[in-house]
Structure 1
Amino acid sequence: MRFVLASQSPARLAVLRAAGVEPVVRVSGVDEDAIAASLVDPTPDDLVTTLALAKAEAIASGSSGDEVVVGCDSMLLTSDGEVHGKPGTVDVARERWKRMAGTSGTLLTGHAVLRLRDGAEVGRAVGHEATLVRFGRPTEDELEAYLATGEPLNVAGAFTLDGLGGWFVDGIDGDPSSVIGISLPLTRRLLRRVGVAVSDIW
């Protein structure tokens, strides 16, 4: 049974490897913006789980083997009620950091697990994890140096916990692996719901 990670995120891959799993990585290439735009007034939880499921389904559709496919998607729900994905540009990342410095937000990560036998889906489970993140107040020089690294441009909420952004996170309340991109506890529970023990994939 292959464990397939439907994500190009090096952080998710690192979490799984540290936890004893060497997944096959397949990138879904789904149009996240188009999927989000097709939803009618979704809650933040619905948004991240729908995107995670779309990624897993895209990979599963091309499978012919005995696999577990896991898709994830993360977004930051800020204190003003807005949901943010990857900023994409320095200007957007700078503005987000100026607004969230000294505040807290909730990092939401949607998860979808599909169980396949001979390429046919025989089980699915979806869920999400929410973790409170308390942001520090980087100085202007620190923020500009961080932006110049490029790291915050391609990660949900314009920060990382396991990289350079960790210097500017004062603390979290919840699951650290979820903030990095894939919740180990939630993934274990979802695997169990499709009949797979986590020890089967170590």
Structure 2
Amino acid sequence: MKLPLRAPLAQKLIAVARPAKFGRGEETLADPSVRDTWELTPDQITLGGTGWPTLLDSALEHFRDQLGLPRGSRLRAELHSMLVYGKGQFFLPHQDSEKDDAMVGTLVVSLPSAHTGGDLVIEHGGESIAYRASKDELTLIAFYADCRHQVTPVRSGYRETLTFNLLTDAGSPAVEAGPAAEPAAA
């Protein structure tokens, strides 16, 4: 996949995607008035490239420290989905469900693309911080699973992200911390 992503590729991704669902308690729902975006599942995605493993390992070390996890712990990223938001699409404020006992947070990797809107807004400690993806570089944002967050409506273009569950070694206690962001070159 060539970066930055352009509209024709986004449209091809949408053609093989499904409407994204969300969890409410024990239920998994599809309601475009709450979450309106397209989703590709991990079995539809292959991550590669010579720099990807090094970039991800470096980012995980950085986010482990930024999230206040013990230095000796190891943070792992488990691919959850690829999301494609088109004009008008969004995800209302919500909190991620912990999909594994070792899950401590979420990593969002925004792929570079020309779009407006679609900011990721994370709430923590009574404050909200909006993160805007780069048009030219990967943007990586990590936050604890208990942080409420949302994706504002996309006004133009396409917003594409990879989402990962962040897992840590079972014996590593989590420390209360907020979101952490790090733009990184592709």
Tell me, yes or no, whether TM beats 0.5. Answer: no
Q: Which has the higher contact order (CA 8 A, sep 6+)?
A: 2
Question: Which is helix-richer, 1 or 2?
Answer: 1
Based on CA coordinates, which of the two structures has the bigger radius of gyration?
A: 1
Question: Which is strand-richer, 1 or 2?
Answer: 2
